Amino acid sequence: MDTAISLPLPGHAVFETALGFMALAWSETGLKRLCLPEKTHAAAERRLLRLAGEVDVSGGRVVPEWVALLIADIRRYAAGEDVDFTSVPVDLSGVDDFRLDIYAAARALRYGETTTYGGLAEKSGHKGLFRETGAALGANPVPLVIPCHRILAAGGKIGGFSATGGSVTKERMLELEGVRVSPPPSTQASFGF
């Protein structure tokens, strides 16, 4: 894996992980955008640049120390290590209070810990608003740091996921954390004859 970091614009970086190429954008306040794995560097850069219109970045092409540490932690996570992202500064300026509540409740979930959309709505003080919670998570600008992949549909089903790869990416991330959401394999083996 190449450890280089590409900087397509000031306040942006594209980097390779064991899961694929990821990209992020930051402001002086904190992380503004995180794009989950893409198959190629170019695809990650395109996705980030598509979203960059929503990101007000500042500063030069120097990667701040906290961003370099975050990239190293994301790489460790992608390699299967238990990483805690709760101390990462996040810039959620312009996000409404409901989404802030949902994101704060999601961010409190630890590595390998899951809940349902309804459970997260309740934990955030918005009991019964599970659909709205799902919509808020679908608009999450910094997945992984705000771990929306840890939120499941009722009955422990995988549910939706707006990142590239959809629910397959979500399941892959959960499997890294030791969470199995697909049905267990049959106990009765097929003999194939």
Q: Are 102 and 74 contained in the same domain?
A: no
pLDDT tens digits, one per residue of 118-141: 999 999 999 999 999 999 999 999
pLDDT of residue 49: 84
Q: Tell me the whole-structure pTM to 2 decimals.
A: 0.84
Query: Looking at per-residue confidence, does 60 or 177 come out higher?
Result: 177
Is residue 85, in this structure, part of any structural domain at all?
no
Q: Is 16 helix (H, G, I), strand (E, B) or coil?
A: strand
Is residue 41, in this structure, part of any structural domain at all?
yes
Residue of 70, 140, 157 lying closest to 106 (CA atoms): 140
Is residue 125, in this structure, part of any structural domain at all?
yes
Is 35 annotated in the active site? no
Is residue 160, in this structure, part of any structural domain at all?
yes
Is residue 183, in this structure, part of any structural domain at all?
no
* Integer Cα distance of 143 and 17 in angstroms: 15
Is residue 188, in this structure, part of any structural domain at all?
no
The crossing angle, in degrees rounded to 10, of helices 97-107 and 130-138 is 80
Q: β-strand 115-116 against 31-38: which pairing, if any?
A: unpaired
* Residue 138 structural domain: 97-176
* Integer Cα distance of 93 and 79 in angstroms: 31
Pick the catalytic residue from 44, 90, 148, 173: 148
Give the pair of three-digit tokens for residue 102.
């949902």
pLDDT of residue 56: 45
pLDDT band per the 50, 70, 90 thresholds, residue 193 = very low
pLDDT over 90 percentage in the chain: 69
pLDDT of residue 87: 96
Query: CATH number, domain at 112?
Result: 1.10.10.10
Mean pLDDT calculated for residue range 86-93 = 96
Q: Are 68 and 112 contained in the same domain?
A: no
pLDDT of residue 63: 83
* Integer Cα distance of 55 and 32 in angstroms: 7
Q: Are 108 and 69 contained in the same domain?
A: no
